[in-house]
Amino acid sequence: MGSLKFSAAPEIYDKKGFDAFGNVDTTAADWVVCNLWVSGKKQLRGSHFFGGVHSKYPFSFVSGHFRYSLNGHNRFEKFVVAGLDGIGGSKSVTELVEEPQSVDHVNLEGPSLTLKNPILKSVDIQTKATKNNVGKEHRRNIWHRMLGMKKSARKNLTSPVPLTNEQSIDNVEDDQKLDAVLSAIGPESTMENCMHVLKLLEKRSDDKMMDFIRWMRTNGKLKRNTSAYNLAIRVLARKEDWDTAEILIQEMTSDSDCLLNSQVFNPLISVCAKRGLVEQGVKWFHMMLEKEVRPNIATVGMLMGLYQRKGNLSQAEFTFSHMRTCKLQCVTAYSSMITIYTRLGMYDKSEKVIQLMNEDEVVPDLENWLVRLNAYSQQGKMEEAESVLKLMQEAGYSHNIVAYNTLITGYGKQTNAEAAKLVFQRLQNIGLEPDETTYRSMIEGLGRAGYYKETMRYYMELKRSGFQPNSSNFYTMVNLHAKHGDGNDIVQTLEDMKVAGCQYSSILSSLLRAYERVGRVNKVPKILKASFYDKILLDQASTSLLVMSYVQNSLLDDAFQALQEKKWKDPNYEDSLYHLLICSCKEVGRYEDAIRIYTKMPPSEVNPNLHITSSLIDIFSILNRFKEAENLYFKLKASGVTFDVIAYSIVVRMYIKGGSLKDACSVLDMIESQKDIVPDKFLFMDMLRVYQQCGMLEKLANSYYWILRCGITWDEAMYNCVINCCGRALPVDELSRLFNEMIHCGYAANAITFNVMLDIYGKSGFLMKARKVFWMAHKQHLADIISYNTIISAHGRNKDFTLMRHFVRRMRDAGYSVSLEAYNSMLDAYGKQGQLEKFNEVLQEMKEASCASDHYTYNILINIYGKKGWIEEVADVLGELKEHGLEPDLYSYNTLIKAYGIAGMVEEAVNIVREMRAKGINPDRVTYSNLIIALQRNENFLEAVKWSLWMKQTGMSK
């Protein structure tokens, strides 16, 4: 049976009771012998469909029994051949082989013959044998055939997987073995047989294996069969079919009464660990815990390794804590936890893990010793690190180059160059050969300590040993050259960087940063011309990087030379570069350098660059050189270039700063006329400020509603600006809504905004709202003297004398002296109400406080005395006014005319008009109205009519 064993596993040729077709005590070997025996009696040819795949056996064994032995006594009499309905029905084997008619005469167009095996989906068997006697003298020929089965199968059996030139012969033999095993499997097969098939399929085909799992489920072979589920889950894990795996795990407990263990989940977690799938790995681990499955050391080790690679601290801490709760001792988990904490700089926690490991009596392995050593070295605890190295050696671990490299790195971080050199000598003394990391660590440590010459020596030794410097070494060397070198040594380092494959732009960037840091950029031009200057001039980005560094370090001549020598031509890119250079100078206040760069720009063959010219206009405005700025604006405007929002904003600011609000308004009109220009919030705020200063209330209102239509995002500055500028142009309700919206959004109003709202509410008679605003300002320490003046005036105007006096006292309590504006408000309020006693008290307070009067004070006095007809007092006020070097203003004259009218002094009233004209003060409509009223009051109706007609002729009448 040697050749048969070569083609099939032991389970195939061992008798297992019933075969797949119900034949008792038959094995695959029985079928082979039967096949050979039948072939010797009669060559059978025909065709049928076996599971949809063409096969060359026209029969299937349904029932029967045979035995064979090595001496050749074989019995096949009781075997029955089924599926021959078209040629006489089922027959015994004996009848079939003795029948004279050949199967070649079977009508192949009839019904297909099928095997009763639900598993095989693709089996194609073809056997060709010559006619042989089964007598004793010919036994050797039969067994010779069995021993030569391998050779025969190669010629006559078709593999379920088409052979290619690359497919090995062993694969064909494995397919034959698998086909033989599968042919013996049926619903009555034992679970052991099914498991054997499952293991074979796992090695050959994942898809067939999953098909077989489904067949096993259908035939009840998965009940309490945890091993089968484990094999299936391993396949699903390899395919990363997580959904199906989860369904199978649920099925194990709900349908198959299987007990879950860590072996179910470990294959899934293993794939997640290898592929770096943190979320999926966490999911499987938490499912384990939900199913009350206890993880083993392998589970924890895989998860912690995954978390270490991905830096997932929270899950690592959770898994580590659960491991200790389960009393598991996974050295890898401790190492991973220490490493994660060390990488994150959480050194206290990494040391805590080391303490826990000691408390748990976990014996460190080599990796754990090394991570402990690294944890202490990274935080500069070199005594503890040396102690770890000593304990590691006492534990029987030989001298390790990684350990010594870690110590060197630790001393280097401490800038303890002497200690690092001692460690280097120690490792040489004990016979360890310095490796690449050793030299690299020495370069970093000595370089950090500023040991220029010694760092150079180790750098050269690194190269002589055949090792390659890393990027950190290059960075260290370039910085040392910049700080200590004379400009010649660095050329070789730059060459090494080029040989190592560093990009020219990267090399240039490192070089410039190093020399900028030490303020020696002036050395760079010479270094580059000795190295790769021509390469820089070929690349736009590198040229820009170099020129920008030169300009930032005031090496304008070198920058201009590089721009002249560049080897590329791209006008648009060049314009952008010049603009960047100009803006970089502008940002640091080097305005003259920015202008010089502008003058060095090559002449443009097309229109001037909008952005560059706008930047220069802004620079000239900052320098108060408004004429030059305006000339650039006119030049830009004449070129026909389309302005954008930024350009318009710069021009508007230029005119605002220059005090030419009329020209600013003309630019704003141009913006309004261009429908495609939508101002940004900064231009809108400039627009509001210009219109406010010009007193253009209608423009202010229009601009406000334009802002609303544009959907500009409102911020604190926008709210304050709109309220401050539009206080007189918008309805009180709209302003109130804006203010409340601003407070609701959490934005802070400034002092001006509070004062504007106080004034608006006060003049509108909303005293309660005014007081609310005042207390808000007071709470935020923004209530200034203007706030007090405004709230006092509001209550005086509305005849609330009690609160008016209250806020006067609050003004004093706040540390302010009562202002002239407050006195004027009280005088006006008391005077208009005829409370002359209070009026005089206020005048006395002013005198005691040495508060000088202004025009408004005198006008109030003239108005109050005039209404009473007290001309002498009015004359005294005028005299006092002149004594203080003041002359009556328009309001004063208008008040005098009114007072003279009340006193019946018409001629004096007319003389006031003449005096006004003589002093160059143009009478207004109030002047003539007061004069007409004075004439009418004194029954000078004819004169009143003349003045009225004259007002109509001059257009002053209502």
CA distances from 447 to 441, 468, 656, 938 (A): 10, 17, 56, 104
Per-residue b or e along 877-903, where b marks 16 or more CB atoms closer than 10 Å to that residue's CB = bbeebeeeeeebebbbbbbbbbbbbbb
Neighbours of 315 (CB within 10 A): 19
Helix axes 206-218, 226-239, angle to 10 degrees: 140
Phi and psi at 18, nearest 5°, equal -105, 140
3-state secondary structure at position 316: helix
Average pLDDT over residues 269-287: 95
CB 341 within 8 Å of CB 353: yes
Res 906 pLDDT > 50:
yes
Sheet-wide strand order for 60-63: 60-63, 80-82, 91-92
3-state secondary structure at position 2: helix
Q: Which two tokens stand for residue 496?
A: 């090494």
What is the structure's pLDDT at 177? 67
Neighbours of 429 (CB within 10 A): 8
Res 840 pLDDT > 70:
yes
Phi and psi at 120, nearest 5°, equal -65, 130
Res 178 pLDDT > 90:
no
Neighbours of 507 (CB within 10 A): 23
Q: Report pTM.
A: 0.62
Average pLDDT over residues 741-748: 94
Share of the chain above pLDDT 90, in %: 57
Average pLDDT over residues 899-903: 83
Which range among 2-6, 102-106, 733-737 has the greatest average pLDDT?
A: 733-737
Phi and psi at 127, nearest 5°, equal -125, 130
What is the structure's pLDDT at 172? 55
303/293 Cα distance (integer angstroms): 15
Res 896 pLDDT > 90:
no
Q: Which two tokens stand for residue 402?
A: 């990684």
Average pLDDT over residues 907-918: 84
Neighbours of 229 (CB within 10 A): 21
Res 475 pLDDT > 70:
yes
What is the structure's pLDDT at 928? 82
DSSP 220: T
Q: Residue 61: which H helix or E strand, with range?
A: strand 60-63
3-state secondary structure at position 112: coil
What is the structure's pLDDT at 176? 67
3-state per-residue secondary structure call for 809-867:
HHHHHCCCCCCHHHHHHHHHHHHHCCCHHHHHHHHHHHHHCCCCCCHHHHHHHHHHHHH
Res 7 pLDDT > 50:
no
Pick 255 or 564 by higher pLDDT: 564
3-state secondary structure at position 902: helix
Phi and psi at 91, nearest 5°, equal -135, 155
CA count, 13 A, side-chain hemisphere, 112: 12
Ranges of H-type helices in 711-750: 716-726, 732-744
861/858 Cα distance (integer angstroms): 5
Q: How would you classify residue 89: left for phi > 0, otherwise alpha for psi between -120 and 50, otherwise beta?
A: left
438/907 Cα distance (integer angstroms): 112
679/645 Cα distance (integer angstroms): 6
Scanning the structure block, which residue is given the tokens 């390899």? 238
Scanning the structure block, which residue is given the tokens 């290059």? 474
3-state secondary structure at position 431: coil
Q: Residue 420: which H helix or E strand, with range?
A: helix 417-429
Pick 680 or 86 by higher pLDDT: 680
CB 335 within 8 Å of CB 367: yes
Per residue in 373-413, pLDDT tens?
A: 999 999 999 999 999 999 999 999 988 999 999 999 999 99
3-state secondary structure at position 48: strand
CA distances from 517 to 271, 583, 708 (A): 48, 22, 49
Closest CA to 550 of 593, 591, 613, 498: 593
Neighbours of 423 (CB within 10 A): 27
Query: Environment class of residue 784 by beta-carbon count within 10 Å: exposed (0-12), middle (13-18) or buried (19+)?
Result: middle
Res 895 pLDDT > 90:
no
Scanning the structure block, which residue is given the tokens 């089968």? 228
Q: Residue 54: which H helix or E strand, with range?
A: strand 53-55
Q: Partners of 92 in the beta sheet? A: 80
Q: Residue 80: which H helix or E strand, with range?
A: strand 80-82
What is the structure's pLDDT at 59? 32
Q: Which two tokens stand for residue 92?
A: 């015994």
CA 36 to chain centre: 73
CB 429 within 8 Å of CB 458: no
Q: Which of 180-189, 383-392, 413-422, 572-581 has the lowest mean pLDDT?
A: 180-189
Average pLDDT over residues 122-127: 32
What is the structure's pLDDT at 644? 92
Query: Environment class of residue 568 by beta-carbon count within 10 Å: exposed (0-12), middle (13-18) or buried (19+)?
Result: exposed
Scanning the structure block, which residue is given the tokens 């075997």? 79
Res 23 pLDDT > 80:
no
Q: Partners of 50 in the beta sheet? A: 53
What is the structure's pLDDT at 94? 41
Q: Identity (one letter) of the amino acid at 789? A: N
617/647 Cα distance (integer angstroms): 9
Res 124 pLDDT > 60:
no
Q: Which two tokens stand for residue 29?
A: 């070997």
Q: Which of 112-126, 414-428, 559-573 has the lowest mean pLDDT?
A: 112-126
DSSP 631: H
Q: Which two tokens stand for residue 394?
A: 């006492």
613/636 Cα distance (integer angstroms): 7
Phi and psi at 679, nearest 5°, equal -60, 150
37/18 Cα distance (integer angstroms): 21
Pick 389 or 198 by higher pLDDT: 389
Who's near 91: CB < 8 A, 6+ residues apart? Answer: 80, 81, 84, 99
What is the structure's pLDDT at 916? 85
What is the structure's pLDDT at 173? 58
The confidence band for 47, taking pLDDT boundaries of 50, 70 and 90, is very low
Per residue in 517-561, pLDDT tens?
A: 999 999 999 999 999 999 999 999 999 999 999 999 999 999 999
DSSP string of 660-718, one letter each residue: -HHHHHHHHHHHHH-TT----HHHHHHHHHHHHHTT-HHHHHHHHHHHHHHTPPP-HHH
Q: Which two tokens stand for residue 418?
A: 């002497």
CA angle 348, 354, 358 (to 5 degrees): 140
CA pseudo-torsion sign 404, 410, 412, 417: negative
DSSP string of 538-596, one letter each residue: H-HHHHHHHHHHHHHTT-HHHHHHHHHH-S---HHHHHHHHHHHHHHHHHTT-HHHHHH
Q: Which two tokens stand for residue 188?
A: 């009555």
298/269 Cα distance (integer angstroms): 10
3-state secondary structure at position 124: strand
Q: Which two tokens stand for residue 935?
A: 């004439």
Pick 182 or 561 by higher pLDDT: 561
Phi and psi at 904, nearest 5°, equal 75, 20
